Copies of this chain bind each other. A is one copy, B any other.
Amino acid sequence: MSERISRRKLFGLGAAGVAAAGAGVIALRAGEEEHAPTAAHVAAAGGAVPFYGEHQAGIITPAQDRLHFVSFDVITDKKAELDELMQEWTAAAARMTQGKEAGTFGAVGGLPEAPPDDTGEALGLPASGLTLTVGFGASLFDDRFGLASRRPAALAPLPKFPGDALLPEISGGDICVQACAHDPQVAVHAVRNLARIGFGRVSVRWSQLGFGRTSSTSRAQATPRNLMGFKDGTNNLKLEDEALLAEQLWVAPGDGQDWMTGGSYLVTRKIRMMVETWDRAPLDEQQQIFGRDKGEGAPLGRKAEFDPLDFAAKDATGQPLIKADAHVRLAHPSNNGNAHLLRRGYNYVDGSDGLGRLDAGLFFMAYQRDPRRQFVPVQLSLARNDALNEYIKHVSSGLFACPGGVRDAGDYWGRALLT
């Protein structure tokens, strides 16, 4: 799908077709001139990411700049309704990721006496790199739908980590959808239309907006900065690391449940930063906490961002340059049985906290082949010892099994699980 085909134009064409077919649709203005899109929209265009494939898009897809993440509770107890919803959602997702409306009549189409089958706020905006990635939480595998035997062992609840201050109302959930795009309006539109389609069958449990992706997932991307001002994503699994992805990211046949083959496990952690305290910490201390310098992002004692970490290097007094409690030392694969993560987090600011402080931090997301061998040990070592802990607080947590990709128009999200 070319990035020049906007929703508006598709709507015009699609709807004209419907009108020609004699259906009772409203008058259309397909031929009229479109105003020039704003700079940001042009900028954000970025074309459409293919929806069908072996893996779901939105995992190794080069991280887009904006996020709307949503977690749903399933409120129907009928498995057939859940199955039907997944089919409807998949059809809508396939359309929206290609820059089309959620429904087939076009955003404001359908019968005038019926609600439109698209909410309309993304009309005229391009696909903007939208990806929609679905995942299933452990709670979906309870008795309600007879899925208990299909639950992967890797979807075991995360342990309670030292310092956790989790709020249940913004944690967990039966089904998650990660919407990433270059334009927040496009990501919000997608989530909102999935919620609309799900009416009566799912209800929004929590949702989170994010901006300024805090990880690179490709070597072609510059490393962005998190709200502590540091480059984030330097030592990340990247789409170019093919052998490592096979080893560390994708679930392989024989890993456990077959329906997860080609999929990956997503851990989400909303991590509040005490930005006001951080902003009064000396530069030296900030750099020692991460083990990297703030300007360049280089390992302490090295010059360039991508210079390798040297945990043995010492300063003149014989102290390690990268301290024992530095974040990158504790999180590094060499300290965690060679566990890698594909981090894909976003900055968030949720206004202020009523105590005179910004409510800001990192919405951490990481994909992996098995959280029991990856996220859990890394986070245990961080939660116990990370010097950063003085400035952060984990307030929400989620773990979701994201199946392999939708293969074609006959396939749908969760088919292998539900049938």
| Interface set of A (CB-CB < 8 Å, partner B) | 11, 26, 28-29, 32, 34-44, 46, 64-65, 68, 70, 73, 107-108, 110-116, 118-124, 169-170, 182-185, 188, 191-192, 195-196, 199, 203-209, 211-212, 220-230, 275-276, 279-284, 286, 293-296, 298, 303-304, 347, 349-352, 354, 356-358, 360
Complex copy number for this chain: 2
Query: Given A188-B227, A212-B184, A221-B38, A116–B294 Cβ distance below 8 Å?
Result: yes
Q: How far is the CA of A29 from the CA of B297 in the complex (A)?
A: 11
Besides A29-B296, A120-B225, A192-B275, 16 more A-B contacts (Cβ < 8 Å) are A36-B220, A38-B65, A40-B44, A107-B294, A116-B229, A116-B294, A119-B279, A121-B229, A184-B184, A185-B347, A188-B360, A191-B358, A192-B279, A196-B276, A206-B352, A209-B350
Q: How far is the CA of A294 from the CA of B68 in the complex (A)?
A: 25
CB-based nearest B residue for A212? B185
Chosen A-B contacts, 28 in total, with CB atoms closer than 8 Å, are A26-B283, A29-B296, A32-B303, A35-B222, A36-B220, A38-B224, A39-B182, A40-B44, A41-B222, A43-B44, A107-B229, A108-B229, A108-B295, A113-B283, A116-B283, A119-B228, A119-B229, A120-B228, A121-B212, A121-B226, A123-B225, A185-B225, A191-B358, A195-B276, A199-B276, A205-B356, A206-B352, A207-B349
Q: Is the interface of A mostly helix, strand, loop or mixed?
A: loop
Contacts of A122 in B (CB 8 A): 225
Q: How far is the CA of A185 from the CA of B213 in the complex (A)?
A: 10
Contacts of A116 in B (CB 8 A): 229, 283, 286, 294
CB-based nearest B residue for A280? B115
